[in-house]
Structure 1
Amino acid sequence: MQKVLVADKINDQGVEVLEGSAEVVFDPTITPEELLETIDQYTGIIVRSRTKVTRDVIEKAKNLKIIARAGVGVDNIDVQAATDNGILVVNAPQSTSITVAEHAMGLILALSRKIAIADASVKDGKWEKSRFMGMELRNKTLGVIGMGRIGSQVVKRAKAFEMDVIVYDPYITEETADELGVRITTLEDLIENADVMTIHVPLTPETKGLISKEQLNQMKDNAILINCARGGIINEEDLYEVLKERPELKVGLDVYENEPLEDSPLVELDNVVLTPHIAASTKEAQRDAAIIVAKEVKEVLNGNTPSNVLNMPVVDSETFQKLKPYFKLTEKLGQILVQTTSPNVKELKIIYSGKISGRAKEPLTRELLKEFLNPILNEPVNSVNAKSIAKQRGIVITEGEIDKNGKYDATIKIDVITDDDEITIEGTVENDEVCVISIDDYDINLTLEGNMAIIKYIDLPGTIGKIGQILGDYEINIGEMKVGRLSEGGEAVMVVKVDQEIPEEVVEKLEETPDIESVKAIKL
């Protein structure tokens, strides 16, 4: 019988799911050294956050098929090493959605009715009724930053309190917003008009410091700010300064820039409620996480495909070898598209040609969607759930095939349609190199790696020189340049590869230049 190691304490119901399908070894105190010595005995391993599944462990796991995280985050698992060794990594992202949403609502209620400081006052022997005048949530405006799985659950609960809801999420469509009964707005408008503002986005370079002194000072008097997402999205130094100056503002935090929270001046303030990163910590969430991942492991033991794969879908070895070079292509194309398209994506059209056809294209579509959606959503997007998440976001996915008798064995062409614009990009694998061969039907052949820029311009004498001059002025060296045009003097597209990242000020300088229509900086 196959063996499964439960290396951390999980709910008993998770263990019960596996009984009869595998020999379950429950060892929640196993040491790193013991894990290295014994991991080759197991077909599956279930962990929470204590046990670290490192590359060293994975490379000794000769029989391992699946690593299951009974929770959401997988920081303690080397996912790339697992992928390299053909091991599935699964988690339970849906297990904490309601739990975190309820915690956010709990913080909102604690602050709107001043429950925390009122409790402390009574326990101190005081009876200060007039000090704790509260605020009703009914008819107030809730602003939600990030409408993923958790943000959507917060909206449902806020509706029960008869709150109006506005949302900032560049990747939600009007159709989806209408279904949820919310109004899409800008971040600035949300901050200025929300009575309660709650954050549910991942921590990325774009969201780090998203809320700092400028945004905090735009908030309404008596407004409430909640963060149960990730520390670092709010600049805590700015937050303290503003809360000292504006004691009428109220903030509830469950996550922090540095954890555990130590020596923070925020603990001195009455207008702040702090909890120790416990938004996902309920008995129900832990139970659900254990059951979900146990079922996932059981599926794999029975030769089936699990639902929450974080790295790669299961395909037969022949198909995998056929598709292997094109997974990297879809990864790079997805990364380009997420950096070049406008918000509010409505449709993705994906056209396959050559030897990629039939069912073989399905894993590639899912891989592309995973790369495209993961940077913009709080919950992990994997190759299995990518299509359903795209559907939830109101994105229409169209797949097609064409017979193409050209010089390439196979190509992938993607057309992204948003509310504002449209971009088409086509790529292939040539001599084991991932290449883009056309952008908006302009022929360009360039390997996809490093720092790049896609520049649309009018093909007039001197324009290319201006581009080179501006990059040179900022000491940005051009490594390679490819130009595509349809006619002399008309619109053209240039792709330049440079030796360092292109700053936003350089992009702006280029866009201010006559005859240059648009500039998109890309980092691959």
Structure 2
Amino acid sequence: MDKKVLIADQINEKGIDELKDVAEIVSNFTISKEELVKEIADYDAIIVRSRTKVTREVIEAADKLKIIARAGVGVDNVDVQAATERGIMVINAPESTSITVAEHTMGLILSLSRKISIADSSVKDGKWEKSRFMGIELNGKTLGVIGMGRIGSQVVTRSKAFGMETVVYDPYITEKSASELGVTVVDLETLLKESDVMTIHVPLTPETKHLISKPQFEIMKENAIIINCARGGIINEEDLYEALSNNRIRGAGLDVYEVEPPENSPLFTLDNVVLTPHIAASTSEAQRDAAIIVANEIKKVFQGRSPKNVLNMPVLDPETFSMVKPYFGLIEKIGKFMIQTAKGNIKEIDVTYCGDLSELRKHDILTRMILQEVLNPILTEPVNLVNATSVAEKRGIIVTEGKRCDAKGYKNLIKVEMKSDFNDVSIEGIMADEPKIIMINGYQVDVETEGTMLISKYKDKPGVIGAIGTKIGKHNINIAKMQVGRKELGGEAVMVLKVDQQVPLNVIEELKQLEDVNDAVAVNL
């Protein structure tokens, strides 16, 4: 066989069996970093789990490598950027753990509602404390799901068997999807007030960090149960301890923690919390399925077909890849800019290619990359270049593409327009020596796409720029560069400040309160 696959971490045998008819298989479950760097040049694909680190050094030594496969969900041990630069696909098995995590979530819910964990300990201690362990039924209770991705949807399906009603908080779920699942979409405050049981299934982002803290616990029902099998840090653990120790809520189930493993946590002293060691995705079936999924993905590539779970790019012929590669940096920055400036649900994204780019046969690859950058920060399941358009469609986002010849004197130009619930954003960018943004909402600027930018819309009159500068100066935020654009004297203008520090949300709010400042937003690129 002319293909060779290295299995660097132990995976289920069924995954290995799937590959035997298409490649020579070499298993080395103890291979060291140094050995991997020396030997990787012989392989067309590598399968890892968590132990093996596929670093830039390993990737740069991989002369033949086409695929890096992670038999699981996360790819923290793979340098995806380095793989992308070398044209190596990174694949994983996101769907392998959906049922497993959903079942673990239900297990924590049942344990807390019926006090199973502490009742077990009591009996093993030789006690018979029946009156101590009065539980509650799930039938007729309201389940609140924060984040309706793949796992959240599976939890909803299982909760229906217990006779539960479901409310969900997810700014990106469509009415059609909600109707099909039989759930009611509400805002977060309503969910917290109405739910008897809450479960979290969102990624950890600056927006979701400590999403559940003291103010949220204070409006929950006294008998409320909260579960987190998503990411540590979404629940403020100090505030959770206070709520549990004061019986402000009934109980909590955690599989993830702000620091892992947690050490000397006050939560250890409570009997109304159930703690598990980040094992929600750990079942033999999930590991079997992960191995089979990545093996089948590798087979597809070897057979000239398109894999489904590519994290960085689809299969591209060398000519197309060489044409689109120079624009990856610009597209990444535009996508990050868009998601950080969106207010509310994203409704439409329109991408227009100008100049030489309008002749590109597969410019939709770049559109998918924009969607990937926009959607990944707000979804738990990975969005890649293969599934980006279908995920956008599922979320009710209308995506359109266009071509035009007028590139405003530049060789190439990309214009992206986004409509969301409460604002419209338009960005035009070029790829010169470095990615640059040359237009924001119709205002001409010249902005390098690195670091933190503070964008303010204001009335073009004396003193406003000074007021903005004074305000951020009081917060010890240093200005590195300033760009100002306006359409007419005395009208609305836009100012882009490149600053040396991230701009806290409270500073943004203070800027918005300034006289003649219409809006302000910080973007971290």
Alpha-carbon distance in structure 2 between the residues aligned to 1:131 and 1:427: 65
Alpha-carbon distance in structure 2 between the residues aligned to 1:118 and 1:518: 55
Distance of aligned partners of 1:19 and 1:504 in 2 relative to their CA distance in 1, 3 Å threshold: same
**Is the contact between residue 353 and residue 401 of structure 1 (CA under 8 Å) also seen in structure 2?**
yes
**Is the contact between residue 225 and residue 249 of structure 2 (CA under 8 Å) also seen in structure 1?**
no
Structure 1 partner of 2:272 = 271
Structure 2 partner of 1:146 = 147
Query: Residue 76 of structure 1: SS of its match in structure 2?
Result: coil
1:282 is displaced (CA, Å) by 1.5
Structure 2 partner of 1:444 = 445
Alpha-carbon distance in structure 1 between the residues aligned to 2:176 and 2:462: 45
Query: Structure 1: where are the runs of 5+ without partners?
Result: none
Instruction: Choose the corresponding residue for 2:427, options 401, 425, 428.
Output: 425
Query: Residue 134 of structure 1: SS of its match in structure 2?
Result: coil
Distance of aligned partners of 1:351 and 1:181 in 2 relative to their CA distance in 1, 3 Å threshold: farther
Structure 2 partner of 1:403 = 405
**Is the contact between residue 456 and residue 521 of structure 2 (CA under 8 Å) also seen in structure 1?**
yes
Alpha-carbon distance in structure 2 between the residues aligned to 1:383 and 1:274: 36
- What whole-Å deviation, never above 9, does each CA across 1:115-145 have from its counterpart, x for those lacking one? 2222223333333332222212222111111
Distance of aligned partners of 1:145 and 1:492 in 2 relative to their CA distance in 1, 3 Å threshold: same
- What whole-Å deviation, never above 9, does each CA across 1:390-424 have from its counterpart, x for those lacking one? 12222121122222253012222122112222222
Structure 1 partner of 2:386 = 384
- Answer yes or no: is 1:460 the counterpart of 2:461: yes
Alpha-carbon distance in structure 1 between the residues aligned to 2:398 and 2:161: 30
Structure 1 partner of 2:490 = 489
* One-letter amino acid matched to 1:364: L
Alpha-carbon distance in structure 1 between the residues aligned to 2:475 and 2:256: 39
Distance of aligned partners of 1:460 and 1:175 in 2 relative to their CA distance in 1, 3 Å threshold: farther
1:511 is displaced (CA, Å) by 0.7
Q: Which has the larger displacement, 127-136 or 70-79?
A: 127-136
1:72 is displaced (CA, Å) by 0.3
- Answer yes or no: is 1:29 the counterpart of 2:30: yes
Give the alignment of 1:240-255 within 5 angstroms: 240-246=241-247, 249-255=250-256
Structure 2 partner of 1:191 = 192
Structure 2 partner of 1:8 = 9
Alpha-carbon distance in structure 1 between the residues aligned to 2:37 and 2:385: 29
- What whole-Å deviation, never above 9, does each CA across 1:264-316 have from its counterpart, x for those lacking one? 33233221112221111122211111011001111222333321111223322
Alpha-carbon distance in structure 2 between the residues aligned to 1:232 and 1:502: 21
1:449 is displaced (CA, Å) by 1.8
* One-letter amino acid matched to 1:317: P
* One-letter amino acid matched to 1:360: K
**Is the contact between residue 173 and residue 346 of structure 1 (CA under 8 Å) also seen in structure 2?**
no
Alpha-carbon distance in structure 1 between the residues aligned to 2:37 and 2:320: 32
Query: Residue 351 of structure 2: SS of its match in structure 1?
Result: strand
Structure 2 partner of 1:322 = 323
Query: Residue 363 of structure 2: SS of its match in structure 1?
Result: helix
**Is the contact between residue 101 and residue 151 of structure 2 (CA under 8 Å) also seen in structure 1?**
yes
Q: Which has the larger displacement, 11-20 or 185-194?
A: 185-194
* One-letter amino acid matched to 1:340: T
**Is the contact between residue 418 and residue 426 of structure 2 (CA under 8 Å) also seen in structure 1?**
yes
Give the alignment of 1:143-182 within 5 angstroms: 143-182=144-183
1:105 is displaced (CA, Å) by 1.0
Q: Which has the larger displacement, 68-77 or 480-489?
A: 480-489
Alpha-carbon distance in structure 2 between the residues aligned to 1:424 and 1:178: 32
Alpha-carbon distance in structure 2 between the residues aligned to 1:372 and 1:104: 28
**Is the contact between residue 366 and residue 386 of structure 1 (CA under 8 Å) also seen in structure 2?**
yes
Query: Residue 167 of structure 1: SS of its match in structure 2?
Result: strand
1:22 is displaced (CA, Å) by 0.3
Alpha-carbon distance in structure 1 between the residues aligned to 2:53 and 2:466: 53
Alpha-carbon distance in structure 2 between the residues aligned to 1:474 and 1:164: 47
Query: Residue 408 of structure 1: SS of its match in structure 2?
Result: coil
Structure 2 partner of 1:70 = 71
Alpha-carbon distance in structure 2 between the residues aligned to 1:63 and 1:24: 15
Query: Structure 2: where are the runs of 5+ without partners?
Result: none
- What whole-Å deviation, never above 9, does each CA across 1:90-118 have from its counterpart, x for those lacking one? 10001111110111011111111222222
Structure 2 partner of 1:333 = 334
Q: Which has the larger displacement, 165-174 or 8-17?
A: 165-174
Runs of 4+ residues deviating >4 angstroms: none
- Answer yes or no: is 1:60 the counterpart of 2:52: no
- What whole-Å deviation, never above 9, does each CA across 1:331-375 have from its counterpart, x for those lacking one? 011111111111211221112222223532111011111111111
**Is the contact between residue 173 and residue 345 of structure 1 (CA under 8 Å) also seen in structure 2?**
no
Alpha-carbon distance in structure 1 between the residues aligned to 2:281 and 2:78: 19
Q: Which has the larger displacement, 158-167 or 107-116?
A: 158-167
1:192 is displaced (CA, Å) by 2.2
Instruction: Choose the corresponding residue for 1:367, options 360, 366, 369.
Output: 369
1:247 is displaced (CA, Å) by 7.1
Q: Which has the larger displacement, 509-518 or 394-403?
A: 394-403
Structure 1 partner of 2:518 = 517
**Is the contact between residue 479 and residue 499 of structure 2 (CA under 8 Å) also seen in structure 1?**
yes
1:228 is displaced (CA, Å) by 0.5
* One-letter amino acid matched to 1:365: T
Task: Give me the identity figure in percent.
Answer: 61
**Is the contact between residue 357 and residue 412 of structure 2 (CA under 8 Å) also seen in structure 1?**
yes
Q: Which has the larger displacement, 354-363 or 7-16?
A: 354-363
**Is the contact between residue 327 and residue 364 of structure 1 (CA under 8 Å) also seen in structure 2?**
yes
Structure 2 partner of 1:20 = 21
1:189 is displaced (CA, Å) by 2.5
1:175 is displaced (CA, Å) by 4.3
**Is the contact between residue 176 and residue 394 of structure 1 (CA under 8 Å) also seen in structure 2?**
no
**Is the contact between residue 353 and residue 412 of structure 1 (CA under 8 Å) also seen in structure 2?**
yes
